[in-house]
Every structure is written in structure tokens, then in C-alpha cells.
Structure 1
């Protein structure tokens, strides 16, 4: 079974959706990185700067250049991310460009835990970050909530109404959303958060 849902992020719609499809509600993120000067580190000196990551790559690069220019080691040019804040524990230790830092931070600010799930899914292959918008289907409170949305987009609820016209029986007839989610997961990447939220991506 390979049903094709609409390729959009779901929004809260409690009046029509008993599963309450949901886009993530979250506090505003303020991702930062602590960037240090490698030349100083090699000499046992902690010389670094906390940099606002949610800004342009050029602005991040300017902050890093200013940190390097103030290094106690003349001519310092190399830097590394030593610590992060508000990055959902995403490992930035191998990131070596301001562009990657900016893209990660902006993705987290815009998309929250769905973007975090994507980064982990692609195994921190930062060359694939730009694929997120085209592959992201949506975030849902549970696999069953996703299955409800999928069935709705395919017209299965309307089909039940058409086939079962007895008004006494119809309220008790429903779809097996757990089974739908299990079968449909063969056609999508379904990534689960510890709280049960699932983030769905195309394969």
C-alpha cells in the first residue's frame, strides 16, 4: 500500500481532527555556538567567543574573524566549535564553515524538533540539510494521528460514510489507525520523539 498524502506541514485543527494534528509548539530558540581558536587551545589557552548562530553566515564569519584577530597567538586562523546552546544536542564538533552553522540554526528555529529528527536521520550529513523542505511531510502527536490525517487526505472517512449509511452503526465503525500507520511506514520515514510525537518524511 503506497498512499500519497498532501505534502504539507499539518496545523492544529481540533474541530475536524479528533487526533489533533499538530505542528510543534515551542519556545523561541536562541541557538549559540562557542567557537575557540585552535592555536590558543594547543598552547593551553582558552580563547573563544559565544556566537549567535541564528544570523547570516557572513555575520557568523565576521564574529569568528574578530575572535581570531584578538587571539593571543598572532596570525591565528583555525577555529572549532567547542560547545553549543539550544541545538538539541546536535553535534557541531565537525562543522567547519559558518554557512553550516547558520543553516543548522535557522532550520532549528523554523522547524524545531522535526529538523532535529531530520539531522539525526541523515546522520549529520550537512550536505543534505537543504533537502528538508522537500522531504518533510509533517509532525503528529502519534503514529495514529498521522494515520488519521493520511486516511482523511485519501478520502477514506468519506468512503466509510458512503458505504455505511445506517446512522446507528456508523459511529461505532472506524479505521484501524495503528495498522494503517504500520503499513504506511514502509513508504515513509517515520521518526519518533521520546514523547511520542512522530515526524514523517518521504523516502
Structure 2
């Protein structure tokens, strides 16, 4: 499921206030351009109970689907991650969690995505049936579970995003 506008948020805290024992910050929609986020951060800092506040940190985040966001993540990177999550939902978060790199996650989904299946064995069965003609007398002797296991060891990355929701990626 793809995220809706406003679901993907970061909580940005004023460090001057935080260092003085005051919690001051704002939840900001991360699925917008970096300029808009920076403007909201500046507005939050301008409202700070500590005069002249300039420094901030990301103290929390929501709906990033498992993708890690650090306290001092760059705003440009936050917007890229949020856009990727907004477009790809749980799968995008799982890819970022697995690869820890936006370029690798994008390459996987753009170049190596094989599809969504109920299980890796279902993928093995479909691939086999599409590429090989199996004599009727041998169809019941094929062990797709073992084929799936071998594929996971050698050829594919399988990411589970839900019950019977397996996404398959070629590793090469």
C-alpha cells in the first residue's frame, strides 16, 4: 500500500530548547520538497522559547516503513527517502532497510524486480513452467520448495512485506 500525503513525517526538535530542558519542535510532512521542509524548520526555530535558536535534529519519524532515518539525516536525503516510500510503500522501506543505500534500492526495484508472489516456491513454479516444457508424467515429481531454496541461495532476493506477499528480485 502506498502512503498518503502527510503520512510520512519527521519530528524536528530545537536543540537550544532541548539543551535547556524544554521540548520544542514540530511534526513536518517529509513527502514534500527540501525547500518547504527547511522553511518549516526555520519557522519552528523562530517560535523557539530560546532566542536565536539555530540548530535542530530529527528526534522521531513516522511511516518510513522500516527505512532508517538518523538524527542528523540531511533534509535532501529525507525527502528522497520519503518520496521512495510514498511511491513504493512497505516494499520501498524494506528495500532501504536491506540495502541501506538509496541508489541500490532504486536499482533493485527498477532493474531487477521479478514481481510479487505468494511464496518463493510459486515464483519457482511459474518460472519453470514459462521456460521449460515439463512432460505430464513428471509434473508431480518436481519439488518447487527445494528449487525455491536453491534460488534464494544463488539467484534471488526475496523480501516479505506481508502474509503471502513476497517480492522477488534477481541478484545479478
| TM-score (normalizing by structure 1) | 0.69
Unaligned segments of structure 2, at least 5 residues: none
Q: 2: CA distance between counterparts of 1:178 and 1:66?
A: 56
- Structure 1 counterpart of 2:169: 201
- Evaluate the alpha carbon distance shift between residue 27 and residue 97 of structure 1 in structure 2; reply closer, same or farther with a 3 A threshold: closer
Q: CA deviation at 1:31?
A: 0.8
One of 35, 38, 45 as aligned partner of 1:58: 35
Structure 2 Cα separation of the partners of residues 100 and 152 of structure 1: 42
Query: More relative contact order in 1 or in 2 (CA 8 Å, sep 6+)?
Result: 1
Q: Tell me the residue number matched to 2:128.
A: 151
Q: Which moved more, 1:178-187 or 1:26-35?
A: 26-35
Identify the residue that residue 176 of structure 1 maps to in structure 2. Answer: 143
2: distance between equivalents of 1:144 and 1:51? 42
Of stretches 75-84 and 103-112 in structure 1, the one that deviates more from structure 2 is 75-84
**1:53 CA drift (Å):** 0.9
CA RMSD in angstroms, aligned pairs only: 2.4
Structure 1 residues 68 and 151, CA, compared in 2 at 3 Å: closer, same or farther?
farther
Residue 35 of structure 1 is matched in structure 2 by: 12
Residue 130, structure 1, aligned to residue 103, structure 2: yes
CA distance in 1, matches of 2:150, 2:21: 56
The whole-number CA distance in structure 1 between the counterparts of 2:95 and 2:71 is: 18
Greater helix proportion = 2
Whole-Å Cα distance in 1 between the matches of residues 107 and 119 of structure 2? 22
**Which one of 118, 130, 134 corresponds to residue 141 of structure 1?**
118
Number of residue equivalences: 164
Q: How does 1:1-203 map to 2 (within 5 A)?
A: 26=1, 28-29=3-4, 30-122=7-99, 125=100, 128-136=101-109, 137=113, 138-152=115-129, 155-156=131-132, 159-160=133-134, 164=135, 173=140, 175-185=142-152, 186-193=154-161, 195-203=163-171
Q: Partners of 2:108 and 2:71 in 1: how far apart? A: 25
Q: 1:49 Cα shift?
A: 0.8
Aligned residues of 1:51 and 1:60 also touching (Cα < 8 A): yes
